[in-house]
Amino acid sequence: MIDLSNFKLWLMENKAYSDRTISNLASRLKRADSFLSWFNDPVYQFRLEQLHDFQVLTTNVKSQIKKAVKLYFEYTESLHRKTFRNHNCKLQVLSLFSNIGVAEAYLDSIGVNVAVANELIEKRASLYSKIYPHTNMICGDITDKEIFEKIIEKAIDCNVDTIMATPPCQGMSTAGQQIKDDERNKLICPVVQSVKIIKPKYVFIENVPLFYQTKINIKGKNLLIPDYISCELGDLYHISRHVINTKDYSVPQTRERAILLLTRKDIKQLWTLPNKENTVVTMMDAIGNLPIVDPYVTDVSEKELLDMFPHFYERKKVALSISHWNMPPHHIKRQVIAMQHTPTGCTAFDNKKFYPIKENGEAVKGYHNTYKRQNWDTAAYTVTMDNRKISSQNNVHPGRKEYIDSEGCQIYSDPRTLTLYELMIIMSLPTNWPVPMDTSEAFLRRIIGEGIPPLFVKKVFENLLKEIS
């Protein structure tokens, strides 16, 4: 069976081909496989060329198919050559449901090597490989037998001794629909199976707090997920359950998470959480030093934009000099006006005159945590996947008093959502995180809203490294 997803990832990493060329090569390889099922032997191409279906193709198409087959042989050979990095790392990690690698952003810097990673979605896996080129990324569905076996084989080959799993939480998140028997809730099962086969020394599992109260159907029985884990792994592992808030660990964001730390019972050093910290990093601490950024108003003319924000381009230039990701967010005029008249920590729904309105002029109905500015003197609210919208929950910059307008109204600065750069800081991502500059901002915003703040992950792993040093 050919592995198109990982073949395309390999082409992206190793060949200077355009996306279109890579797509065409994958298509030609798939066509070859339809003529003759792939087998990993040089005689494959000879037998392919003897087939009538191949011989009747145009010379150009035959040449493209042969090139794709040759490259696929090169790809399969590379799988045997690629070894894991050691660099005196004390831990070799398998990252499951790795997305683009938000959780592991600091691990390499503290001597923890993510040797193998798995991600279902090709676009995410591709970006992960660009950010972490030394990690063996296996793209595909972990519930697929062949993909699962490939993950296990590579993890064992790389001497993995730690598994980090962050399975999707949408099926149980309070921000989601919480559909009963959501199949995503059962993605803990391949995690447990991988632990049973690899038998790592340590396991880190992260999810939303409702993870502990969610039931899954196992062989006709509805079991709470923690009970399922204990039943399957309790004989072999010490299992430590926690609910944490990342603001207690110097992350400038309130984000509650369920954390399970497993230690194999023959290991003396138990993996424990670090102690909570005494001070909270506020939004003022995190982004208070950044200059004003005016929003780009999408539904007005250039003249009206500059009437609203005379310094728009000057401020944009300063913002982008700080970071490529400090781009002004895009919003519509009526939402921007509502937020210009909304003080720090307040919602525009409290405005008597400048109340949020629809396009037809009707008043907007919504929760009071929407159209809401954050506070300077607390940690940020939980970053969500919808973090680009003023109309979604707790997304608007705190702002400052800026000036009094001609009607005597107080105008507040930054009537917008946080820039992507500000979100990265709130998520505790390193400001030099090597994300390619051509990455879609909308894509990154959504990914960041799904992730666990990496500074917390770093501190948990550092606590383990202290124990085993």
Dump pLDDT digits (tens) for 66-123.
999 989 988 887 776 555 455 567 899 999 999 999 999 999 999 999 999 999 999 9
What is the per-residue pLDDT across 298-340, written as a single tens digit (0 to 9) for each?
999 999 999 999 999 999 999 999 999 999 999 999 999 999 9
Over residues 333-359, the pLDDT tens digits come to 999 999 999 999 999 999 999 999 999
DSSP state of 417: B
Is the pLDDT at 7 greater than 60, yes or no? yes
- Residue 377 and residue 284: Cα distance in Å, rounded? 6
So which residues are the catalytic ones? 169
203-228 pLDDT, tens digit each: 999 999 999 999 999 988 999 999 99
Are 172 and 178 a contacting pair, CB within 8 Å? yes
**Higher pLDDT, residue 8 or 344:** 344
Q: How far is C-alpha 46 from the chain's CA centre? A: 43
Q: Is the Cβ–Cβ distance between 293 and 316 less than 8 Å?
A: yes
Please write down the long-range contacts of 305-310, taking CB distance under 8 Å and 24 or more positions apart.
Answer: 308/333, 308/336
d(CA 47, CA 69): 12
Q: Where are the domains of the chain?
A: 4-81, 91-278+455-468, 294-418
Mean pLDDT over 352-373 rounds to 92
Q: Which residues contact 56 (CB under 8 A, 6 or more apart)?
A: none
User: Over the chain, what is the mean pLDDT?
Assistant: 92
CATH class of the domain comprising 91-278+455-468: alpha beta
Strands 237-245 and 112-119: unpaired
Contacts with 458 (C-beta within 8 Å, 6 or more apart), sequence order: 105, 106, 107, 109, 110
